[in-house]
């Protein structure tokens, strides 16, 4: 391993991973276990959706990292009878290797060490997790490239998701994972007949504008310790409890950092006149669904 990853202790005593090359901690607010469970599993109502649906439930785990989000999912769903397909993506296996090596200190992976080792070795592991049958895949490679190739060409081995955990390093440090073309490709990769929700830790106006212009509906997400808000997006507005409203739109139009990234280069800029007009015309700010007025103040 290159030695990029280190163990660090947060203010609440929890340990997490720190990437020296990105200069960022993973799950810096509440720590890996609590933050992963709150932000990704609870926010997307995974347990409720799995219990109310039939057939295999598919989750894309974008930014596998040390597998904290995936392990939180497995712990929360182990008593739900059914089938789960977990499709993880990352451009490196190093944080997973590091997390497995330091599993005792991190704590969250307890009981899943053998599954993680098999995933690392074979890029796939199939197992029974309590009452739940799990098929877990690890696609190692550049996610934007995968969207343009394997996923964009609708290869059958990568099934369309019901939910997406989006946990890349920040736009300032990893801009290639936050561009408008990437999220447009991601939205096109969804099955229009399959409601899908995505959540991520960022609450930035730039991100939310990007998601809206890529085709998603977008809402305010749960707080996670350091952040008062996160972001949830979906291809079906009914999956969002607190949609962004007209007041948010007015702030975005005045923001000095709202223009989506068109290239994998981080930059702050206000909305261009053309982008502002596209944002104003988004259906989220025009329609009501089941009595929820998305344009309320």
pTM of the model: 0.92
> What was the pLDDT predicted at 292?
43
> What was the pLDDT predicted at 289?
39
> What was the pLDDT predicted at 154?
57
> What was the pLDDT predicted at 155?
56
**Cβ–Cβ < 8 Å for 19, 4:** yes
CATH no. of 26-244? 3.40.50.150
Residue written as tokens 């059958």?
156
Average pLDDT by consecutive 10-residue portion of the chain (297 residues)?
Answer: 83 93 91 91 96 91 97 97 96 96 95 97 97 96 86 64 96 96 94 95 96 97 82 96 95 97 96 96 73 38
Residues facing residue 198 across a β-bridge? 164, 233
> What was the pLDDT predicted at 192?
92
**In 3-state terms, the chain is what percent helix, strand and coil (to 5)?**
35, 20, 45
Phi and psi angles of residue 169, each rounded to the nearest 5 degrees, phi first: -60, 165
**Cβ–Cβ < 8 Å for 288, 198:** no
Structure tokens at 114: 């053998």
């Amino acid at each position: 391993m290159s030695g990029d990853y280190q163990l660090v202790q947060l203010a609440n005593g929890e340990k997490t991973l720190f990437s020296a090359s990105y200069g960022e901690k993973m799950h810096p607010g509440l720590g890996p276990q609590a933050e992963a469970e709150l932000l990704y599993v609870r926010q997307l109502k995974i347990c409720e959706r799995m219990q109310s649906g039939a057939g295999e439930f598919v989750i894309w785990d974008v930014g596998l990292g040390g597998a904290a989000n995936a392990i939180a999912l497995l712990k929360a769903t182990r008593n739900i009878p059914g089938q789960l397909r977990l499709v993880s993506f990352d451009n490196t296996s190093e944080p997973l290797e590091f997390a497995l090596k330091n599993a005792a200190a991190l704590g969250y992976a307890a009981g899943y060490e053998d599954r993680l080792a098999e995933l690392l070795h074979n890029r796939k592991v199939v197992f029974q997790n309590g009452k739940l049958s799990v098929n877990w895949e690890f696609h190692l490679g550049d996610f934007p490239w995968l969207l343009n190739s394997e996923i964009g060409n609708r290869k059958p081995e990568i099934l369309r998701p019901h939910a997406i955990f989006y946990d890349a390093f920040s736009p300032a440090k990893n801009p290639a994972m936050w561009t408008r073309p990437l999220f447009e490709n991601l939205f096109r990769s969804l099955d229009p007949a399959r409601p899908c929700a995505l959540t991520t830790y960022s609450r930035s106006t730039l991100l939310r504008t990007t998601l809206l212009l890529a085709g998603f509906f977008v809402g305010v997400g749960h707080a996670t310790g350091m952040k008062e808000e996160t972001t949830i997006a979906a291809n079906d507005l009914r999956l969002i409890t607190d949609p962004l409203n007209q007041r948010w739109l007015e702030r975005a139009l005045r923001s000095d950092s709202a223009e989506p990234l068109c290239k994998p280069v981080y930059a702050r800029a206000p909305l261009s006149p053309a982008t502002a007009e596209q944002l104003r015309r988004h259906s989220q700010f025009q329609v009501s669904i089941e009595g929820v007025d998305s344009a309320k103040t």
